[in-house]
Chains A and B, each alone.
Chain A
Amino acid sequence: MNEKLNAFHIVILIHMTQVGVTIFSLPRICATHFGTNGWIAILPIGLVVFANVALIHAVVRLGGGRSLPEMLGLFLPKPVYGALLLGMSCMYALSACLTSKQYVLMYELQSFPATRPYVFRAGIDILIFFLVIIGIYNLSKAVTVIFFSTIVIPFTLLSLYDETELVRYTPFFLKEGTDFMAGCFEVYAAYLGFEISLFLIPYVGRSTRWFRGVYVANTVTTVVYLILSIIAFGFFSYGQLRDMLYPLLEMTGHVQLPIIERVDTLMFTFFFLVALVTATLYFWIATELFSYVFPKLDKRWPAAFLITVTYFVSSIPNELDLVTGWLRIMGKVAIATAIALPLLLIGGMLITRARRAKAS
């Protein structure tokens, strides 16, 4: 009998998947798209995400312990849902690879401007491969370690309290925003990762109580995002915030430790783990989806295959802006999936249930 994931691990797993490379730019996204005091938009978007999570919760309850392909198999013919699963698999694999690519490009910008990214990325991809094949239970243990080594970062930022000023927030709310909808999409995308709960079903116990962990994870993420953005809006002036690429990195640059100068470069290496976890878990989802379609295959093969293919695909965009653009598109596709897939499942299962009731 396999070991089961408990709620605590689920909280950490999902929180760490949610927090990815977007966290670096989140306050700036809020400032440019929502305008003055844009941090406040995180709250309503967080609530919408909660509704989305509730949707997945409904799926899990309706499914009664069935895994995703079993649920789809109830109302869709095999070739159709097979294609659907493969499509999703590609999407998640590509998102994962772009996440790690974005991090590598940022790392180049920050520390190694002359190093060629492909070697570095290959190293990361090998690491991801080894993490993916150890299975979700062991993975969750690794993620727990990473969680505890990075969760301190938002709290070290609290030491910037001295340099934040109330008057800098300005009394104006959501003025000067450029594109409200684009902002909503980007912040929503920063929450993505909760959909991993759909794929965890075979790895948890029979009861659906584990799902509370997903809500808790979402709350933790909202709190982290809020702390970060609230500090950023008081620490930087509004105009300044709009002009900078990565406010989070700037802020860590101002955290002073007694012995180390320029902590930001050190912190940035810690953030590597955050990006790594997000990429790894997305690859894990992709591998899961792949092996639903080809259940007899050893999971190492789809993992290796997906990682290799996406490695080359994501080599195409080479500029930071372009990668960010691709990620933004992938984000939209992923949001659509996160909403449409549960709806499809709920609809399908309800119809099947109604038909069965009629037949009997």
Chain B
Amino acid sequence: MRKYLAVPVLAFVTVAASGCGTQADKRVLEELGMISVMGFDLEEGRSEEEVNSNRTTVLFPVINPRATVEEEVLSVTSRSNNSRQELSRMTDRKLVFGQLRTAVFNARIAENGLLDDLDALLRDPTLGTRVKLALTDHNVHDLLTFKHPAIPRIGRYIDLLLEKESIHLFLPRSNLHTFYRDLRDDGIDPVIPIINPSTDSIKLDGIGLFRDDRLAGRVKAEEMPYFVMLYGDFRQGVITVQVGQTEFVTLTALRSERDVRIRRKAGGALAAEIRILLNGSVVEDFGYKNHKTKKSWEELIRKINRKVEEKCERQIRLMQKLRADCIGMGQYARRLYSYPEWKKLDWRETFADMDIRVKVDLHVKDFGVYP
């Protein structure tokens, strides 16, 4: 008899549980606007009284087979983070942020500090912290409405572009988590990649260097590999090095390992040596010279090493000038100090005055099949 009592009880629980999800929490896939990219533009006030405001642009795929567009773009201007309500009034879909993959900021917003804008993203529990971050020099709205026959879905395109580059670690991984992690670490400053539209596509156009949450400067697109060598290890890269007036060498399948050695000199000043171990193959030697002998190969490698060192050191000088320690020298320097010493230290200034040398050691696995 008692066993049969379980049936009505279970039935009650089932009914109660199904009533548990109220209408407000119900989500029907076809009725959702699953935002894949969010963009933020700065709109400057025209007069003195008018304060600057942000234009928020969101982009979500349209799941209707009869729709002629693949993605819908909505955009509103607002002074605070209430843009979400305004956006939801503009569409018949229920906007959800759980599938957000990328947040794009206009570089001018970043120059004034990103933390205020990131706060809304970090706080939202429906968002994962793997949301990728990107900067652009152009209008974000224009970037997200970029039309090209080969790019049907710009949201996915941007996501894959950033993903592909960071898998090979040719671009430092940059998402909400890494940004906030480096921001709240006193030994490193964050970085965010820059993407810009060009005539044919949207391309990766450099790396933004931050001092705290403000954009301080940037690494140019062609210098990115050298920055990444200083930043950490990468697994598969390509660089072209100009070794002479007319001679260019291209290295592929490049792996790099970074080794930071830091010490205090007699006067208390810091000296660091960043050793970069490169491993790759030479596939192109433009301005062809015949390197038949071992000696001439060694000469070539030496030239490449020197060239890469030079390029890397230029990046370091840039960061020192900006007082932005984006390669995390501080994380290594911490161990040379006691806790009170480190807290008293003005790390930015110490970093700027630091003597940092780069030593590159290239190992060429092979010289291609027609050496």
Interface string of B4-21 (1 = CB under 8 A from A): 000001000100110111
Query: In the bound complex, do residue B22 and residue A262 qualify as a contact, i.e. CB atoms below 8 Å apart?
Result: no
Q: How far is the CB of A245 from chain B (nearest CB, A)?
A: 9
Query: In the bound complex, do residue A237 and residue B184 qualify as a contact, i.e. CB atoms below 8 Å apart?
Result: yes
Chain A contact-residue range equals: 20 to 34
Interface string of A184-196 (1 = CB under 8 A from B): 0000000000000
CA distance in complex: A115, B128 (Å)? 21
Provide the main secondary structure of the chain B interface. Answer: helix
One of A106-114, A271-279, A288-296 at the interface:
A106-114
* Chain B contacts for A179, CB-based, 8 A: none
* Chain B contacts for A123, CB-based, 8 A: 13, 16-17, 20
Query: In the bound complex, do residue B98 and residue A262 qualify as a contact, i.e. CB atoms below 8 Å apart?
Result: yes
Interface centre among A114, A165, A170, A237 (most CB of B within 10 A): A237
Query: In the bound complex, do residue A168 and residue B185 qualify as a contact, i.e. CB atoms below 8 Å apart?
Result: yes
Query: In the bound complex, do residue B181 and residue A171 qualify as a contact, i.e. CB atoms below 8 Å apart?
Result: no
Taking CB as reference atom, which chain A residue is nearest B332? A167
Q: How far is the CB of A34 from chain B (nearest CB, A)?
A: 14
* Chain A contacts for B186, CB-based, 8 A: 239
A154 at the interface (CB under 8 A from B): no
One of B42-50, B244-252, B307-315, B334-342 at the interface:
B334-342
Query: In the bound complex, do residue B21 and residue A112 qualify as a contact, i.e. CB atoms below 8 Å apart?
Result: yes
Query: In the bound complex, do residue A172 and residue B328 qualify as a contact, i.e. CB atoms below 8 Å apart?
Result: no
Query: In the bound complex, do residue B334 and residue A171 qualify as a contact, i.e. CB atoms below 8 Å apart?
Result: yes
* Chain A contacts for B21, CB-based, 8 A: 112, 115
Query: In the bound complex, do residue A119 and residue B331 qualify as a contact, i.e. CB atoms below 8 Å apart?
Result: no
Query: In the bound complex, do residue B130 and residue A237 qualify as a contact, i.e. CB atoms below 8 Å apart?
Result: no
A116 at the interface (CB under 8 A from B): yes
Query: In the bound complex, do residue B184 and residue A116 qualify as a contact, i.e. CB atoms below 8 Å apart?
Result: no
A122 at the interface (CB under 8 A from B): yes
A240 at the interface (CB under 8 A from B): yes
* Chain A contacts for B369, CB-based, 8 A: none
B353 at the interface (CB under 8 A from A): no
Provide the main secondary structure of the chain A interface. Answer: helix
* Chain B contacts for A238, CB-based, 8 A: 184-185
Interface string of A117-146 (1 = CB under 8 A from B): 001101100110000000000000000000
A206 at the interface (CB under 8 A from B): no
Interface centre among A172, A240, A262 (most CB of B within 10 A): A240
* Chain B contacts for A70, CB-based, 8 A: none
CA distance in complex: A237, B183 (Å)? 9
Query: In the bound complex, do residue A236 and residue B129 qualify as a contact, i.e. CB atoms below 8 Å apart?
Result: no
Query: In the bound complex, do residue A119 and residue B20 qualify as a contact, i.e. CB atoms below 8 Å apart?
Result: yes
* Chain A contacts for B1, CB-based, 8 A: none
- Which of B16, B24, B182, B184 meets A114, CB within 8 Å? B24
Query: In the bound complex, do residue B335 and residue A171 qualify as a contact, i.e. CB atoms below 8 Å apart?
Result: yes
Interface string of B253-278 (1 = CB under 8 A from A): 00000000000000000000000000
* Chain A contacts for B328, CB-based, 8 A: 167
Query: In the bound complex, do residue A170 and residue B20 qualify as a contact, i.e. CB atoms below 8 Å apart?
Result: no
- Which of B9, B99, B182, B334 meets A126, CB within 8 Å? B9
Query: In the bound complex, do residue A253 and residue B20 qualify as a contact, i.e. CB atoms below 8 Å apart?
Result: no
CA distance in complex: A172, B187 (Å)? 13
CA distance in complex: A239, B179 (Å)? 12
* Chain A contacts for B331, CB-based, 8 A: 165, 167-168, 170
Query: In the bound complex, do residue A264 and residue B128 qualify as a contact, i.e. CB atoms below 8 Å apart?
Result: yes
Q: How far is the CB of B172 from chain A (nearest CB, A)?
A: 12
Query: In the bound complex, do residue B128 and residue A114 qualify as a contact, i.e. CB atoms below 8 Å apart?
Result: no
Interface string of A242-264 (1 = CB under 8 A from B): 11000000100110000001101
Query: In the bound complex, do residue A239 and residue B184 qualify as a contact, i.e. CB atoms below 8 Å apart?
Result: yes
Q: How far is the CB of A169 from chain B (nearest CB, A)?
A: 10
A175 at the interface (CB under 8 A from B): yes
* Chain B contacts for A127, CB-based, 8 A: 13
Taking CB as reference atom, which chain A residue is nearest B179? A240
* Chain B contacts for A112, CB-based, 8 A: 20-21, 25
B227 at the interface (CB under 8 A from A): no
* Chain A contacts for B332, CB-based, 8 A: 167
CA distance in complex: A236, B185 (Å)? 9
B302 at the interface (CB under 8 A from A): no
CA distance in complex: A242, B335 (Å)? 21
B180 at the interface (CB under 8 A from A): yes
CA distance in complex: A243, B125 (Å)? 14
* Chain B contacts for A237, CB-based, 8 A: 181-182, 184-185
Query: In the bound complex, do residue B16 and residue A167 qualify as a contact, i.e. CB atoms below 8 Å apart?
Result: no
Taking CB as reference atom, which chain B residue is nearest A129? B9
- CB contact under 8 A between A114 and B25, given known A168-B331, A236-B181, A240-B184: yes
- Which of A114, A126, A165 meets B22, CB within 8 Å? A114
B357 at the interface (CB under 8 A from A): no
* Chain A contacts for B183, CB-based, 8 A: 239-240
* Chain B contacts for A165, CB-based, 8 A: 331
Query: In the bound complex, do residue A250 and residue B184 qualify as a contact, i.e. CB atoms below 8 Å apart?
Result: no
Given A170-B334, A239-B184, 11 additional A-B pairs, CB 8 A: A113-B25, A114-B25, A115-B24, A119-B16, A119-B17, A126-B13, A165-B331, A172-B334, A240-B184, A253-B128, A261-B99
24 residue pairs A–B, Cβ–Cβ below 8 Å? A114-B24, A114-B25, A119-B19, A120-B17, A122-B16, A165-B331, A167-B187, A167-B331, A170-B331, A237-B181, A237-B185, A239-B183, A239-B184, A239-B185, A240-B183, A240-B185, A242-B184, A243-B180, A243-B184, A253-B129, A253-B130, A254-B177, A262-B98, A262-B128
Q: Give me the 4 closest cross-chain CB pairs, A-B, nearest first.
A: A239-B184, A114-B24, A237-B185, A167-B331
